[in-house]
Amino acid sequence: MHLRAMGIAATDVLSAMERVPREIFVPAQMQDQAYEDIALPIGRGQTISQPFVVAAMTQALEIGDRDKVLEIGTGSGYQTCVLAHLCRRVYSIERHKPLLLQAEKMFHRLKLHNITAIAGDGMKGWPDQAPFDRIICTACAQGEPPPPLLDQLKTGGILVIPVATGGHQVLRRYKKEGDDTFAVKDLMPVRFVPLLPHLATASENENDDYAMPA
């Protein structure tokens, strides 16, 4: 009801979010906040986005049940699972291997078999599986989306990504109209962790103060 009141009208998106238990993706010491409309830390400097942002990004993608979706930033796997209820297949890339392993446990626990996830550099996309009908990025690009993501989008496809411009972040939607032609729309101000290249280093993965539920 909260999401409806906030302007999320797509019934398939609302249904998908109802089917994914957010509490299993939230650190054990924050279980009481699992359904508050706030972002929460999940370790390694990463967060699980607030429910409204997950819903808004998903709605903006306009996913069809035959679509092939690329997700940049698996994180906790919560957004991935929401996508999996809406499309044919999700391909997800995460630069933090420990987060990826935890997310894969969640996919198995929820019996979602249409997700393929790897540890890698999301800024390069997934050339071997391109092109994609939809691409979603859950980290903020500087100025413009990485060119490989735009290149790996089908004509008619949609990319939803936070972009930093002039010291502010805005959620932006790109619809590919031709090889190098995009209809671009700013959706709303957001705050995301930065989109970074390469796999995370061992030192980036060392400090993790958040115990995930079993």
User: Model confidence over 193-202: pLDDT tens digits?
Assistant: 999 998 888 7
Give yes or no for residue 36 having a pLDDT over 70. yes
Give yes or no for residue 110 having a pLDDT over 90. yes
How far is CA 28 from each of CA 47, 68, 99, 130, rounded to the nearest angstrom?
14, 33, 15, 37
End-to-end CA gap in the chain: 29
- pLDDT for the residue 212: 53
Instruction: From the candidates 49, 76, 92, 203, give the one annotated as an active-site residue.
Output: 49
Give yes or no for residue 209 having a pLDDT over 70. no
Smallest CA-to-CA distance from 174 within 186, 164, 191 is with 186
- pLDDT for the residue 27: 82
Question: Residue 105: in which H helix or E strand, if any?
Answer: helix 97-109
Parallel/antiparallel/unpaired status of strands 115-119 and 89-94: parallel
Distance CA 179, CA 139 (A): 25
Q: Classify domain 2-199 by CATH number.
A: 3.40.50.150
Whether 49 sits among the annotated catalytic residues: the reply is: yes
Query: Which of the 8 DSSP states describes residue 140?
Result: B
Which residues partner with 149 through β-bridges? Answer: none
